[in-house]
C-alpha cells in the first residue's frame, strides 16, 4: 500500500505524545469540569447524548466513567482540508495488527490514540509502512 505524502512530497511523520490519557464520558448537560482543561492536550466534544473528554489520565477524578491508559500519536504538520486518505492507511495498518484506535481530528491535524500496552506494536506497524516515528 503506497504511503500518502504531503504536498511537499515528504511522507508524514508521527510523534508520540508523552502523557497517558483517559477517554471520559459525562452526562450531556453537565458543565465542563476544570480538571478536563489542564494539560498540554485535551479534547472536548458535546453531543445531544453525552460530553466526551480526552485529557491526561492523571487529572481524571476517581469514579468518573472513563477508559484509561491511552497513548496519543500525532500526525505532524498542517494538513490541508483538500488532502484525502490521511487516516485510512494508518487505521488499516493498525487494524491489521489487531490494534483498536480512537481518533481525534482538529483544524490542523489528526491524532490516533492506542491503548498503552499496544503502543510499541502500533509504532512498529506504522514504521513498517514507512512512517517516521518520533
pLDDT at residue 96 tops 90: yes
- Interstrand relation of 110-115 and 66-75 (parallel, antiparallel or unpaired): antiparallel
Average confidence (pLDDT) over 42-65: 97
99 close to 89: Cβ distance less than 8 angstroms: no
pLDDT tens-digit readout, 7-48: 334 468 999 999 999 999 999 999 999 999 999 999 999 999
Check residue 66 and give its pLDDT: 98
pLDDT band, very low/low/confident/very high, at 76 (cuts 50, 70, 90): confident
Q: What is the pLDDT of residues 98-129, one digit of tens each?
A: 999 999 999 888 999 999 999 999 999 999 98
CATH for 13-133?
A: 3.30.2130.10
Task: Report pLDDT for 108.
Answer: 84
d(CA 8, CA 6): 5
Amino acid at each position: 500500500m503506497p504511503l500518502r505524502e504531503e504536498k511537499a512530497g515528504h511522507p508524514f511523520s508521527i510523534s508520540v505524545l508523552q502523557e497517558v490519557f483517559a477517554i471520559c464520558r459525562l452526562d450531556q448537560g453537565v458543565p465542563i469540569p476544570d480538571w478536563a482543561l489542564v494539560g498540554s492536550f485535551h479534547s472536548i466534544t458535546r453531543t445531544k447524548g453525552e460530553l466526551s473528554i480526552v485529557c491526561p489520565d492523571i487529572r481524571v477524578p476517581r469514579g468518573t466513567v472513563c477508559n484509561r491508559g491511552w497513548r496519543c500519536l500525532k500526525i505532524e504538520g498542517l494538513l490541508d482540508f483538500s488532502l484525502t486518505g490521511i487516516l485510512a492507511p494508518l487505521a488499516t495498518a493498525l487494524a491489521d495488527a489487531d490494534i483498536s484506535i480512537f481518533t481525534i481530528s482538529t483544524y490542523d491535524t489528526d491524532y490516533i490514540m492506542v491503548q498503552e500496552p499496544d503502543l510499541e506494536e502500533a509504532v512498529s506497524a506504522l514504521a513498517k509502512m514507512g512512517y517516521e516515528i518520533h
